Chain A
Amino acid sequence: MLTSLDRPVALPAPLGALVAEYRIEPATAIAYRVQAGQYIQIIDIEGRQCSDLLVFAGAAFEEELDATVTRTLNGLAVPQAGLHGKYFSQMMQPLFEVIQDTCGRHDQFLLACTARYYEDLGYPGHPSCSDNFNRVLHPYGILPRPGWSAVNFFYNTAIASDGTIVGGESWSRPGDYVLLRANRDLLCASSACADDIDAVNAWQPTPIQIRIYDASESFPRAIGRRVSPEAPVRLTRLSAFTPCIQTLTNHLVEYNGFWVPNSFANHGIHDEYWALRERVVLMDLSALRKFEVSGRDAGALLQLSFSRDIGKLTIGQSAYGCLLNPHGGIIDDGIVFCLGETTYRYVGNCDSDGDWLRRVAHQRGYEVTITPSSDWLHNLALQGPCSRDLLRPLVALDSEFGLGNLDELGYFRFATGQVAGIPVLISRTGYTGELGYELFVHPDQGAALWEVLMQAGRAYDLRPMGMLALDRARIEAGLLAAGREFDDLTSPYQAGIGWAVALKKPDFIGKAALEQIKARPPYVAVGLVLEGNEIASFGQCVHPIGERWRVGRITSATFSPILNRSIALAQIVPEYATIGTELEVGFVDGMQRRIRAVVGPLAAYDPTKSRVKA
């Protein structure tokens, strides 16, 4: 249920020592100076309010913010906190960098609102941000313009596929902010947008607060995310392993609320990939979300919510499947670990999984508690054909799991124990298509575990692996990614994990819909092997040979080094999904160049899973 966002407005506490603070009344603007290194926080006090920003540098303010340069150098419509967070001048020099952003939706395509906009809609004389800027910049000798190119913070616009710039009510909520750091001495002008004639400011302009913090402050780069409309903003986190990882790479990107490595310095995607396929790699997968599901009805709740038959799990066993909605769509995919008769752990991708499980439990009157454990369980994946050999001498398994040693830990089995004396849960699972283990550890001992494994890995020429190589490996192995192969409108039969649906269970959420869908899913997941070396991309259309009309689309694609072929995962109408069928993938505009592709199994690499089961 969506809830009203109206709430009493309270200005958030300052983030650090204030140098200056300004309040911009609705439909006005101010100009202010900021020194190099200082931070600028622009706060939407009441929510749904845009604030446009102009920035100038140089003795005569001859350099100014250039939106086109900024977009081009970042390859992004709007810079984001992290690697591509800088705003540039027309001289291609960085002026400032976004350090934190709790809204995530801004505009850098349109002008600050102009008198002309209002005039054309029948409001001659209406105040505008551009006119307000002209007024406050006049004392600095900056000539007026009818319309200023600005960064329009909290202004909700996007480019539609037909090129239209679409927009609407701001996404920002009370207290949302952007935090910027000045790269140079700057003259800034900020507005509280004057637009009260459309949805941009929800027809009700409200004030903006500007805070300037000292250059001696150190604020981490972060993107703010909310799990639900009511939940507080949570900034991008570091895992227990990130400090170790940061010594090895600067190439970190935000993924699911964590800073994770894309690749490692002096190595890169190919080296990491081959280390996975031939030796062993170490990855930080702490961005997975963990939930402890316990209580008398824990098993019943998971039996109802999860696609697999939980009743078949014994203690120490786990199962991959998905949480389902009533129409058979995949809410999330994940693994259920059976820790005890009334104790389970669900490991998925979304914080909201816990909310969903709680809601189902409440509706059914189940006696069960769902406790998020992501903050005290960070996890590494040790994957590759040498992973067992590396781990064997380090591991001592707890006796209650009845396993003599690591070699007895079967596929989708787990046990608690110690690695070099560090308490861990060791699970024989992974996301790479190789033999491998996932190690769950308390964050306090995460760095020690990382170092132990890196040290032991030297004998096997271990590499740390980043997300780029992981994505290549999982596509080869036919493993799904949320947002690519599935979302909540996609059934397991369409996504290629129909085998993970236990239709024989007496009841589970989505069962009725899935019984219908199974007979003829609208699409089925397949692997494609393309002719030639070009790599397909997400969303490209798949056609019968010589036909204009489509039979499916690409969901993921890569070049497989081990197969030396361009491969893809695709979802195709059942009539064209038979293995061996020849199809065409539309490149360029979909018509000018077609690349032949042959339908194959979802996993192009090791389709029998012999390696993970070895």
Chain B
Amino acid sequence: MTSICLYDLAGFDGLPVAQRLFGDGIQRLAPFQSAELPLSSGIPCTVLRLCENNFRVRLQEADGTALQQAFTQAQIGQRVWLQSFAWLSRLTLPDGIERLAEIAVPKSPHRIAGLQMNCAAPGRIDGVAVLVWRHSAQGQPAVDLHLAASDRKIIQTKLLALEFPL
């Protein structure tokens, strides 16, 4: 199984740098929407917009260096950073948003029930903060849970107890 990593990109010039990296299509994403947008070198990435100038990039770990190199070029003269947070963890579940909606409470006004593909919503599972992201990973629908690394075991245990396939 290939290893996936997350990079966060943000700053005053987050949008124009994201445009340079992933093309103009990125400005059509609303916060908490995502799209599969390859880097100009063709490396596949899924990009989630978190607010006007903040983006999260999901890609194969082996491609992280290529993203950093592309960023180094794109960020010249711009006020923006790219980081991979050690404290941010990720769990990927097979698609099944309605089942997840039974245990995850969305932060109002977001909705987890009925969450469409390439959309995300912040919420909580047993009081633990998660970002629920429904997306297509290499053509396969999946749900990512982004959560604090320190909460990973708690949520894993909870999901396994409920027989979620992890």
Using a CB–CB cutoff of 8 Å, the interface residues on chain A facing chain B are 83, 249-252, 262-263, 265-272, 274, 532-535, 559, 561, 564
Contacts and interface: CB of A to CB of B under 8 A. Distances in A.
Contact of B28 (A263, A270, A534): A270
Interface in B6-35: 12-13, 15-16, 27-33
Given A251-B109, A252-B109, A267-B30, 15 more contacts: A83-B109, A250-B109, A250-B111, A265-B114, A266-B114, A268-B32, A270-B29, A270-B30, A270-B33, A274-B28, A532-B13, A533-B15, A533-B16, A559-B15, A559-B52
Contacts of B119: 266
Contacts of B12: 532-534
Contacts of B16: 533
B53 to A, nearest CB: 7
A550 to B, nearest CB: 24
A591 B153 CA distance: 49
A27 B30 CA distance: 52
B99 interface: no
A533 B13 CA distance: 6
Contacts of B33: 268, 270-271
Interface residues of B, number: 21
A230 to B, nearest CB: 36
B115 interface: yes
A533 B33 CA distance: 21
A295 B111 CA distance: 51
B108 A268 contact: no
B27 A263 contact: no
Given A266-B114, A534-B12, A271 B109 contact: no
Nearest to A278: B28
A266 B116 contact: yes
27 contacts: A83-B109, A249-B109, A250-B108, A251-B109, A252-B109, A262-B109, A263-B30, A265-B109, A265-B110, A266-B114, A266-B116, A266-B119, A268-B30, A268-B32, A269-B30, A269-B31, A270-B28, A270-B33, A271-B28, A272-B30, A532-B12, A532-B13, A533-B13, A533-B16, A533-B53, A534-B12, A535-B52
Contacts of B110: 250, 265
Contacts of B53: 533
Contact of B31 (A250, A268, A274, A561): A268
A402 B52 CA distance: 48
A499 to B, nearest CB: 33
A561 B28 contact: yes
Interface of B: 12-13, 15-16, 27-33, 52-53, 108-111, 114-116, 119
Contacts of B31: 268-269
A58 to B, nearest CB: 16
Given A83-B108, A532-B12, A266 B27 contact: no
Nearest first, the 7 A-B pairs at minimum CB distance are A268-B30, A250-B109, A251-B109, A270-B30, A266-B116, A265-B111, A266-B119
A375 B30 CA distance: 34
B81 to A, nearest CB: 15
Contacts of B15: 533, 559
B145 to A, nearest CB: 18
Nearest to A272: B30
B30 A271 contact: yes
B111 A561 contact: no
A564 B33 CA distance: 19
A534 B111 CA distance: 30
B27 A270 contact: yes
Contacts of A251: 109
A564 B13 CA distance: 12
A569 B37 CA distance: 34
A328 B111 CA distance: 47
A83 B109 CA distance: 7
A535 B52 CA distance: 10
A124 to B, nearest CB: 48
A252 B109 CA distance: 8
A269 B52 CA distance: 10
A266 B115 contact: yes
A294 B56 CA distance: 59
A251 B31 CA distance: 14
A268 B16 CA distance: 20
